[in-house]
Structures are given as structure tokens and as C-alpha cells.
């Protein structure tokens, strides 16, 4: 069967990703190109079993996808790397840094359940042909890993997934969830300041928690760091991090805009939460991760999309304006059901969603987060 963005074949009851170029390409914004779920388990007629070989083949496929848009590795501004096993981090990094040697993209790397059961690595990126500015704060030591702290494109700033590190030494700052969350936002603040922005310009964040039992503590510390009246949209999921001393990693976007406003569905009362249902700028609408109630993944997906539709209508938008989609699944085996409903709701030309398996904070098994493009 074929679903949007991913060509699939069922073999022995398992989903085998073919990912024939350019089928993994997402519907694109005028200046941003989204490439989702790139992976490779075979090359040259042989099965790839090491993370080094799979990383190399995956990045080669990414290069092919970039070429479809006249882009190259130097045009990538955001990279999300998902590993099947945190023990593969060093091997992945050794190969990854050879593809991004100068001004590497911002990056977040976490462990997740991947779409292809044979894959050890899965990558989604954002790229652009627009001029970009690498943000290297004076007060924050440069990372020893192949990523940039921030990359600014126009008025939009992409910030790497931040963990609790000493700004002077880059060494981990250990402590409880609150201590680490506060240090993370301190480091994010350095990046924002260097880019001429502040925490008030954050529009969207992804929070990856190593232990979901720390959610309430993280939430309180998070609330102290973001603006109270119009906090950024947010999704929070459970994902193992690359260093066992870290309890959380936070990846954000910021946009400076005089037109910033909170968007919520008609009739929805403001709630005392540290995130907004949606943040609209003159440029885009950034939605929080939405979960839906139901007895199974299908019901939960439909309910989440109904809630998203209501928020879009409040901003005079529709599903045809969707630019980027992330789907977090408590059970990645529900991907086909969710993908089918997404296609039915958004149409066959919908953007290819980034899909990973990750435990959610509540009882729902499906969480959907979107970025909506400019108003026509």
C-alpha cells in the first residue's frame, strides 16, 4: 500500500519502509523544506546492521532528498535524530559530524521507537535556501558535539535541544528536575539574547522527559521561565536522553513579531497552563501538542484533529494551511491507523508527518503537534 510521504510494503506482518525519493518529502512552505522520517536499513543490496552504516546511508538518502529541492547539507537548519538505543549515540555522532563539518544545523537527539523495526536511526530535518545566521553566544561555551546552538532565518530562530550544562565549561549541571529545567532556560536565554530576542519571543517548544514522574516538577520550573500571559505552544513526551545524568531536553523555536497573539478555540476559556493552545505571529501559527480522548488510537486521533480544527478556525485557517506535523505515539504500531485518518482529514497532499513512538504524559496514546503556514 502507499500512504502520503511513505511508500510501504507489508512483509511478514512488519512494515518495511521503502522511502523512495521523493516520497518522503513534505508539503513545503515557500522558504522552508521539511523532510521527514528518513531511514535506511539496506544499501547496495546488503542489510545494514551497524549504526555507523545506517547513519551513513540515511544521510546519503537525506542528501538525495535535499537535491530534489536544489539544496545541500549546508542548507539544513534543524535536525531531529531519533535513535533506537542511546548506546548508539557515539557511533552515530562519528559519522554525522563528517556530513556537517561547518556551521552544523541545530539538533535534538533522543531515543524513540522508530517506524522501521529494523532501523537504528531515523532523521527529520528542516532546510532552507534563505540566508541563515549561526548564533554562537559569547556567554555559552560552544558545544563539543556537531550542532549549533541556534540558527536564525529571517525573524525565526531555531534552537538546539538544550540540556542542563554549565555555560562556562559545557559540563553537565546535575540536580533535580527543577534545577535542570532552570539551567536549560538559562542557556536558551543566552541563545535568544545573542539573536536579539528574549524568552517572550518563544513560540513553540518540545520537551523530552527521561522520567515522566518528574513532569509536575518540570512544569512548575518551566512556568517560571516562560511568559505567563502568552507562553509558547508545547508538546511534552517521554524519551530517553543521550546522557543518563540529564532529566530533560527542551528544543524551541522563537520568532520576533509585533503581531504575536494567543489563539484558542471559540468558547475555550483561558487555563492556568504554562503553554498556549496556539501562538500566531504575522508569519505562522504554532500549535501545542493535542491529545484526544477515546478507547483506541483511531478515536483519539479523530478527537485530536477535531480540537485542532477548532483552533484553526479561530485563526481563520484550515487543514490546507498545515506546513509541518509531528505525531507522538505511545505504541508506534498504531502508525497506520493514525496515518490513514490524517490522510482522510487533511487530504493526500498533506505534509508528511514526523512520527515516533514515545510515551505521553496522560492516558491518550496519540499526540499531534502542527505548524501552520502563512495566511494566503
Residue 296 inside a domain? The answer is yes
Radius of gyration of the chain (CA): 19
* Cell 546552538 -> residue: 149
Specify whether 125 is located in the same domain as 177. no
**In a domain? residue 273:** no
Residue 271, in any domain of the structure: no
CA distance 126 to 83: 18
Report the 3 state secondary structure along 243-287.
CCCCCEEEEEEEECCCCCEECCCCCCCCCCCCCCCEEECCCCEEE
> Are 115 and 135 part of one and the same domain?
no
**112 and 159 part of one domain:** no
* Cell numbers that stand for 30 in this block: 515557500
My answer on whether 308 and 329 are in the same domain is yes
In a domain, 262, yes or no: no
Q: Check whether residue 150 and residue 230 sit in a common domain.
A: yes
In a domain, 38, yes or no: yes
Of the residues 107, 129, 151, the one at which a domain ends: 129
pLDDT tens profile 57-69: 999 999 999 999 9
Question: Is the separation of the CB atoms in 195 and 254 below 8 Å?
Answer: yes
- Let me know whether 248 and 286 are in one domain: no
Task: Note the pLDDT of residue 376.
Answer: 56
Based on the fold, state whether residues 142 and 219 are members of the same structural domain.
Answer: yes
User: Which domain-ending residue is among 80, 97, 129?
Assistant: 129
- What are the tens digits of pLDDT across the range 172-220? 999 999 999 999 999 999 999 999 999 999 999 999 999 999 999 999 9
Q: Domain end: 80, 106, 129, which one?
A: 129
Q: Do 1 and 115 share a domain, yes or no?
A: yes
Residues 164 and 106 in one domain: no
Q: What is the pLDDT of residue 50?
A: 98
Q: Are residues 1 and 125 in the same domain?
A: yes
* Inside any domain, residue 270: no
**Domain with 306 in it:** 278-376
10-residue stretch averages of pLDDT, the chain, 376 residues long: 30 33 49 96 96 98 96 98 98 98 97 98 98 96 94 97 97 96 98 98 98 95 96 98 97 97 92 94 95 97 98 96 97 98 95 96 95 80
The per-residue pLDDT for 17 is 36
**What does the pLDDT read at residue 25?**
55
* Separation of alpha carbons 59 and 275, rounded Å: 34
Tell whether 56 and 180 lie within a shared domain. Answer: no
Mean pLDDT of the chain: 91
Q: Which three cell numbers stand for residue 149?
A: 546552538
Whether 334 maps to a domain, the answer reads yes
The number of folded domains in the chain is: 3
Helix then strand then coil, in percent of the chain rounded to 5, is: 30, 30, 40
Q: Are residues 242 and 159 in the same domain?
A: yes
- Record the cell numbers describing residue 117, joined without a space: 523495526
Phi and psi at residue 135, to the nearest 5°: -100, 115
pLDDT (0 to 100) of residue 348: 85
Q: Could you tell me the CATH number of the domain that includes residue 306?
A: 3.30.1330.40
Q: Is position 269 within any domain?
A: no
Amino acid at each position: 500500500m502507499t500512504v502520503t510521504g511513505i511508500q510501504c510494503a507489508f512483509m511478514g506482518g512488519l512494515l518495511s519502509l521503502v522511502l523512495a525519493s521523493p516520497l518522503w518529502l513534505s508539503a513545503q512552505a515557500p522558504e522552508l523544506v521539511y523532510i521527514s522520517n528518513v531511514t535506511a536499513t539496506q544499501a547496495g543490496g546488503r542489510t545494514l546492521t551497524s549504526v555507523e552504516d545506517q547513519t551513513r546511508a540515511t544521510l546519503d538518502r537525506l542528501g538525495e532528498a535535499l537535491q530534489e529541492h536544489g539544496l545541500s547539507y549546508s542548507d539544513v537548519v534543524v535536525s531531529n535524530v531519533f535513535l533506537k538505543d542511546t548506546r548508539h549515540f557515539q557511533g552515530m555522532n562519528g559519522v554525522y559530524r563528517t556530513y556537517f563539518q561547518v556551521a552544523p544545523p541545530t539538533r535534538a537527539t533522543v531515543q524513540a521507537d522508530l517506524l522501521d523495526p529494523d532501523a537504528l536511526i531515523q532523521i527529520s530535518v528542516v532546510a532552507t535556501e534563505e540566508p541563515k545566521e549561526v548564533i554562537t553566544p559569547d556567554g555559552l561555551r560552544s558545544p563539543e558535539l556537531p550542532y549549533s546552538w541556534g540558527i536564525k532565518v529571517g525573524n525565526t530562530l531555531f534552537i538546539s535541544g538544550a540540556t542542563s550544562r554549565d555555560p562556562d565549561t559545557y559540563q553537565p549541571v546535575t540536580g533535580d528536575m527543577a534545577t535542570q529545567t532552570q539551567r536549560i532556560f538559562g542557556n536558551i536565554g543566552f541563545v535568544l539574547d545573542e539573536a536579539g530576542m528574549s524568552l517572550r519571543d518563544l513560540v513553540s517548544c518540545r520537551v523530552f522527559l527521561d522520567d515522566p514522574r518528574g513532569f509536575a516538577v518540570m512544569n512548575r520550573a518551566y512556568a517560571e521561565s516562560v511568559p505567563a500571559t502568552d507562553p509558547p505552544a508545547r508538546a511534552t513526551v517521554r524519551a530517553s536522553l543521550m546522557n543518563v545524568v540529564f532529566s530533560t531536553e527542551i528544543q524551541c523555536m522563537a520568532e520576533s513579531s509585533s503581531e504575536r497573539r494567543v489563539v484558542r478555540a471559540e468558547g475555550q476559556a483561558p487555563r492556568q497552563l504554562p503553554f498556549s493552545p496556539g501562538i500566531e505571529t504575522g508569519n505562522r501559527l504554532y500549535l501545542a501538542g493535542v491529545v484526544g480522548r477515546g478507547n483506541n488510537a483511531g478515536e483519539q486521533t479523530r478527537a485530536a484533529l477535531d480540537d485542532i480544527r477548532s483552533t484553526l478556525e479561530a485563526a481563520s485557517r484550515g487543514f490546507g494551511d498545515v506546513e509541518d506535523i509531528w505525531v507522538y505515539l505511545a505504541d508506534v504500531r498504531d502508525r497506520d491507523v493514525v496515518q490513514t485518518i490524517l490522510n482522510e482529514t487533511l487530504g493526500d497532499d498533506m505534509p508528511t508527518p514526523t512520527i515516533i513512538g514515545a510515551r505521553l504524559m496522560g492516558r491518550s496514546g496519540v499526540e499531534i503537534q502542527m505548524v501552520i503556514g502563512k495566511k494566503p
